[in-house]
Amino acid sequence: TVRQCLEQIRHLQTMLFERIGKLDSGSDTLTNLLNRRFLPTVLRREIELSASNATDFAVLLIDLDHFKAINDHYGHETGDRALQQVANTLTHNTRGSDYLFRYGGEEFVVVLVGVDAIQASVIAETIRRIIAATPLQLGNDTTISLTASIGVAQWGRQDNDAVSLLRRADQAMYTAKQAGRNRVHLA
């Protein structure tokens, strides 16, 4: 009957809107990148693909240098704009097959699909250079220089799981910071 069909349509429509809401909650509202909640799923998938197809992939862990100073000196709204600018840089300088995440605070993760360590390092260096070459424009003819420290880790035999891969990328990022910031370090 028509009434039953209408009820079924309403039910399907409700399910659709609930599903859209769940998908929307998977992106960071400030940067429109994926949030870290989906990172384990993506990494698990890439690990499985790597094992079955012998494909390479790598992770970049990106941390904005001196971000706290930007927030403290210029305010959180300016800090938010800096994060949005970096997210935009990542979006425009990675491939559609790569995964971009806001990891938390001023940290980002990029999962580079189908690359080896050298290719990942070249991509990371390109991203680092673009971030450093693109100051954040403030409304009063003031600019803020942005730089990033980037750790690169390729999935390999030394990794037991996604956690160990991220740990290596994190250690590489901290090595880049300790070496003077605004640089890329390969794990």
Three-state DSSP at 58 gives strand
What is the per-residue DSSP string for 13-35?
HHHHHHHHHHHHTTB-TTT-SEE
DSSP element (H, E) containing 67: helix 67-74
Exposed, middle or buried, 176 (CB in 10 Å: 0-12/13-18/19+)?
buried
Tally: H helices and E strands in the chain: 6, 8
- The active-site residue, picked from 46, 77, 106, 125, is 106
Catalytic (active site) residue 77: no
Both tokens assigned to 117: 């360590």
- Residues taking part in catalysis: 106
